[in-house]
Structures are given as C-alpha cells and as structure tokens.
Amino acid sequence: MKLKIDDRIEEVLKSFKLPDPIGFGTTLAPIMITCDFKEGQWGVPSLLPYGPIQLNPTAKVFHYGQEIFEGMKAYRVSKKGPYLFRPLENFKRFNLSAKRMAMPYISEEIFMETIKILIDKVSPFIPDQSGDSLYIRPFMISTEDHLGIAPSKEFKFIVVASPSASYFQQAKPLSVFIEREYVRAVEGGTGQAKTGGNYASGLVSSIKAERLGYSQTLWLDAEKKEICEEMSGMNLFIVKNGNLVTPALTGTILEGITRSSLIRIARDHNIEVQERSLSLKELIQGIKDGQITEAFACGTAVILKSIASFGEEDGTVYKIQSKESEYNYQGKRVRGQIGAFLKEVLLNLQEGQLEDPYGWRVKVPSSVDTDHKIIKNYDQEASLNC
C-alpha cells in the first residue's frame, strides 16, 4: 500500500510527551491518518501530524450526519506487543455500518495497514499498565460540499489514537437509569450501525441520568418499552441463577466485539450463556427476589464494569444483592464473581498475559508490512451510492 508521509512526522513524534494522568480519550497521539474518497474511489492515504482538518460549512456531515466510526485498542502491557484484539471484526463492522449509512466500503488493506502504521509509530507512547491501552478511533465522514439531501459523493477516512487509561475513572460500580421516555433505536433503524447519531440522540438521557445521580442509561425497545436492549456505548449482561443472560441481537443493538468475546470465554468455562429477550419485568423481579446476583456493562472502551443497581426517574432503586457463582477454571469447579473472572481472562488475552487459543490477538509488526490475511469472499461492492 502506498502512503504519503508528511515531513513533520518524526519531529512531532520526538517532541510528544505523555501527560500524567492520561485519562480516557483526552490525550491524542501527535499523528493521524487521512484518506479521501472522490470520483468513486479511495485515494492514497496520508500520515499527518494530528491537527484540525478543513471542511466547508456545507460539508454533508455537518447537516445530515452521514458518519460512522469504530473503537479499537492496542495493548503493550509489560513491554509485550503492541497487540490488536480481533481487528478484523472492527473492519467488518465498519463496512456494515458504511452499508447502512449509504457510505462507500473501505478495503481491508487501507483499514488495517493504516491502523498498524499508526500504532507502530506511536508504540513508545502506549501506556503499559494493565487496563491502559492506545484507544484507536477510525472514522469516516461525508465531505461533499452540498446542501441537497442525498448521499455524499465524497468522504474522508481518518484514524486518530489516544493513549488512554480506564474509561471510567471511578472504581465504584455503575448505577443505571432505566430510560422509559426516550428510545435509542427502532426496528429497521440504525441501532446496529456504529454511527454518531445513535450516540447523539442518547445524550439527552445521559443529562437526565446524571442529574438524578445515575451513571449510565439502560435503553428499552422502542415498540413497547418492555425489553432491555443496551446501554449507551455498552452491552448488558446479567447473572441469573448462575447463568449469564444478555439481550439477543435483534437488529436494534450494536453487536459488541467484547460482548461476543465474553460469550465465547464464558461458554468455554462451562458457564451457560443465554442470548435472549430480557424483559425489564424479569430484570426488576430477578433483582428483588435475589435470582439476579450480578450485572455488568461491557465494550471496547469500558472493557467490563459491574453494575450495582438499576433505578427509575422517581428515585426507586433496585439494588443487586451480589453473590458468587460456580464455574470451571483449569479443570476445577471454583466459586466467584463471574464478571470479575471474565474480565480477568479477557484482559489477559488482550494484553498477552495468557496463551490465546482463539487467535484473537494480532501482533503489530514493527516495520509494518502487508502480512495480515486478506478476507476472501468478503462482500466488497465498490460503493453503494457513489
């Protein structure tokens, strides 16, 4: 793959210093990737110093929100790695989001190689404490300068990266607000796509949640507001009678890569996982009668965070009576919190502290080449509308 490299790259890398503390998403790596789509094709990507991009005020992204993104992490704990975790899943989901949002597909080569080049260059700035990482944000925006409501013909793919600590700074578990007024996604809508609008429309609820003292919103189905779906940027799991339950993917929920990894790890440790409809009634009743003994949120940024309680707008709180469950570990039946156990296994896999039987961990080579596998038979329609 060809790449244009800005002359200032070495200089900005040399003068970059990691602040302390680094926070989440606030410290930006000093370089970024951009690549433009024009006249039906992607151009040559550029490696540039991180900085403002110039767009006309009528660029379609500002008016019609044609935008998609991904969240990925590179790990370099104890000087191992850097490793990516299941990056092909992010690539596939990016193109699924592109399809839903009438945006052009991007090739695996541009997506993967540019990300690996960026990671390689900023590798010395990846924090090495367990739980810390380089948070990578590939995204695509519509840039055509036109106010007509039609899919853009021009786009920009950008990758930025942020050396980051935990998403939630506070150690205490989440208290989750049950949102009974607004909804996040409808059948046939964009709930399954990773597009900015889904997050923007949830912000009104996060203001309400914060005002009421909650730390997250739980979204319900749009039709009857009876079924639990997900939280804003995180999937939901509960432990009921020792089994894991997570809302099934109905088309309105984002298919989390952390979600699917936890399901696989749990099943491989003889923990039963039920992907099914979880009603709000069942959630509340299960907490009240003590059958639900754990709940947690998961996602790339958050990893896994336990939930202490769910609550209503009127201040009613359903507090989980936390209890240990049984599962298999290293050939033995052990007792413990399932969420804490899954988080430990997942993090150890991601950070390179555990042998990876799944082939999920991808080492980023230090002089990046094209050694990764190109997906064959992947639906590579050149573009939908361009």
Q: Which residues bind ligand COI (CB under 6 A)?
A: 71, 233, 299-301
Expressed in percent and rounded to 5, the helix, strand and coil fractions of the chain are 25, 30, 45
Nearer to ligand COI, 167 or 341 (CB): 167
Contact 343, 209 (CB under 8 A): no
> Measured from the CB of residue 21, what is the shortest distance to ligand COI in angstroms?
18
> Measured from the CB of residue 350, what is the shortest distance to ligand COI in angstroms?
13
> Measured from the CB of residue 353, what is the shortest distance to ligand COI in angstroms?
21
Indicate the DSSP class of residue 147: -
Phi/psi of residue 91, nearest 5 degrees: -60, -45
Q: Report the residue closest to ligand COI, judged by CB.
A: 71
Question: Across the strands, what pairs with 205?
Answer: none
The tokens of 368 are what? Answer: 């990046």
Nearer to ligand COI, 235 or 293 (CB): 235
Phi/psi of residue 368, nearest 5 degrees: -65, 130
> Measured from the CB of residue 70, what is the shortest distance to ligand COI in angstroms?
7
Nearer to ligand COI, 12 or 28 (CB): 28
3-class SS of residue 325:
strand
Nearer to ligand COI, 287 or 301 (CB): 301
Question: Across the strands, what pairs with 139?
Answer: 69, 158
> Measured from the CB of residue 232, what is the shortest distance to ligand COI in angstroms?
7
- 359 Rama sector, left if φ>0, alpha if ψ -120 to 50, beta otherwise: left
Nearer to ligand COI, 228 or 297 (CB): 297
> Measured from the CB of residue 68, what is the shortest distance to ligand COI in angstroms?
11
- Token look-up 């754990």 returns 294
Question: Across the strands, what pairs with 155?
Answer: 37, 142
Nearer to ligand COI, 184 or 240 (CB): 184
CA distance 360 to 318: 37
